[in-house]
Amino acid sequence: MDRLAAMRAFVRVVDTGSFSAAGRAVGSSQSAVSQQVAALEAALGARLIHRTTRQLTLTEVGTRYYEHAVGVLDALAAADASVTEDATDLHGRLRVQAPTGLGQVLIAPLLMAFQADHPNLSIDLALDDRVADVIAEGVDLAVRLGPLSHVGLVARRVGSVERALVASPAYLAKHGVPGRPADLAHHPHVRFSGSVADEVTLMGVDGAVSVAVPAHFVANSSSVLIAALVAGRGIGGVQLPLVRKELEAGLLVRVLADFAYPSLDVHLVLPTRRHVPSSVRAFMAMLEMALQETSL
């Protein structure tokens, strides 16, 4: 038995809450992880985990062993980092998950530049507007917009994204320019399909204003929605970093400039705070700096 591998498997089972999730996180099978933990228990001569059909719970001995095992693995990771962090190159795979729009505009170019500095590093970028299970899907780092929906995530807020209403000049010339939020009710609305309510809430000097709007063009792609806005399909809310070029070129203009959507917080999410690879720490630092330097 590889004692260190078995210890890692045991800690991963405790962290994820199941043998199957632990197996997915390390790219192994549920049975293989179960066998590693069983072999560890046999070698120790003690039961570490109570197994039932519904849940796993640590025994008293298992709780003590888990605390010591985490310390051992942390010390090993620190020893490895003392060598690898001094190296000029990074190796292995870095899997990042991010929202589609921000991922295309900001994350993808940063990852390409990061890989150019570390050519022996393999990059795996998943652009998806759903909330990925970072543990089950083996994600090293996830970029999240808006409030975090899961309690207990290892996350750090690193910035925010400003949003505003925009439309094409041709659309406004044909249909008129809204002078107040209530006027939006008379204009077709372009919106993301993930929004369940046909309503816009804007922040003004006197506070929040909510207006019911007719959904005219709905899509689950930021690039498609931007194209629809440029084509004059209506008025819609966008993340300003995604339409900077269109605004500068005059293809889109801001509507109701004195009102804006609440900004979206940007969080970096990790599967665990322990054993964070050097490549993840290095890219997080690069990404956080880019977010601070970029006017979002």
Q: Is residue 182 part of a domain?
A: yes
Section 40-66 average pLDDT:
87
Average pLDDT of span 129-154? 77
Q: Are residues 115 and 78 in the same domain?
A: no
Residue 102 contacts residue 291 (beta carbons within 8 Å) = no
What pLDDT is recorded for position 227? 95
For residues 53 and 181, state if they share a domain. Answer: no
Region 8-13: mean pLDDT is: 87
Distance CA 283, CA 112 (A): 11
> What pLDDT is recorded for position 183?
93
Q: Is 69 exposed, middle or buried (0-12, 13-18, 19+ CB in 10 A)?
A: buried
Question: Is residue 241 in a domain?
Answer: yes
Predicted pLDDT at 80: 66
Q: What pLDDT band is residue 155 in, cutting at 50, 70 and 90?
A: confident
Gap between the terminal Cα atoms of the chain: 52
Confidence bin at 112 (pLDDT 50/70/90): very high
Any idea which of 166-175, 229-238, 281-290 has the lowest mean pLDDT?
A: 281-290
177 shares its domain with 227 = yes
Highest-confidence segment of 13-17, 162-166, 259-263: 162-166
> What is the pLDDT averaged over residues 11-36?
83
Q: What is the pLDDT of residue 195?
A: 66
Do residues 146 and 274 both lie within one domain? yes
- 75 and 144 assigned to the same domain: no
pTM of the full structure = 0.63
Residue 160 burial (CB count, 10 A): 15
Least confident of 34-38, 153-157, 194-198, 245-249: 194-198
CA dihedral (66, 72, 75, 81) positive or negative: negative
- The span from the CA of 265 to the CA of 160, in Å, is 4
9 plus 79 within the same structural domain = yes
* Residue 173 within any structural domain of the chain: yes
Res. 84 pLDDT band, cuts 50 70 90: low
Residues 137 and 171 in one domain: no
Lowest-pLDDT range, 92-106, 137-151, 225-239, 250-264? Answer: 137-151
To which H or E segment does residue 50 belong? strand 49-51
pLDDT greater than 80 at residue 128? yes
Q: What domain count does the chain have?
A: 3
**Is residue 54 scored above 80 in pLDDT?**
no
Residues 90 and 37: their CA atoms lie apart, in Å, by 31
User: 167-199 burial by CB neighbour count: b if 16+ within 10 A, else e?
Assistant: bbeebbeeeeebeebeebeebbbbbbeeeeeee
In angstroms, the CA 89 to CA 85 distance is 9
Location of structure tokens 């120790």: 44
Q: Are residues 237 and 207 in the same domain?
A: yes
Residue 202 in 3-state DSSP?
Answer: strand
pLDDT higher than threshold 90 for residue 154: no
Q: Percent of the chain having pLDDT more than 70?
A: 90
User: Has residue 85 got a pLDDT over 70?
Assistant: no
Return the CATH number at 76.
1.10.10.10
Q: 68 is in which domain, residue-wise? A: 3-84
Q: Name the helix (H) or strand (E) containing 285.
A: helix 278-293
Any domain includes 131: yes
Per-residue 3-state assignment (H helix, E strand, C coil) for 123-188: EEEEECCCCCCCCCCCCCEEEEECCCCCCCCEEEEEEEECEEEEECHHHHHHHCCCCCHHHHHHCC
- pLDDT value of position 293: 65
> Which pLDDT does position 246 carry in this prediction?
95
Is residue 119, in this structure, part of any structural domain at all?
yes
The CB-based long-range contact list for 191-196 (8 Å cut-off, 24+ gap) reads 191/215, 191/217, 191/218, 191/225, 191/236, 191/237, 192/129, 192/218, 192/219, 192/220, 192/222, 192/225, 193/218, 193/219, 193/220, 194/129, 194/220
pLDDT score of 18: 83
Residue 242 domain flag: yes
The confidence score (pLDDT) of residue 188 equals: 92
pLDDT at 81: 61
Mean pLDDT value across the chain? 85
Query: What are the DSSP E strand ranges found in 182-279?
Result: 189-192, 199-204, 207-212, 215-219, 235-239, 253-254, 264-270
pLDDT for res 175: 94
Determine the average pLDDT of the residues in 108-123: 92
Same domain, yes or no, for 39 and 75?
Answer: yes
pLDDT by residue (tens digit) across 178-234?
A: 999 999 999 999 988 866 567 888 888 888 888 988 888 999 888 999 999 999 999
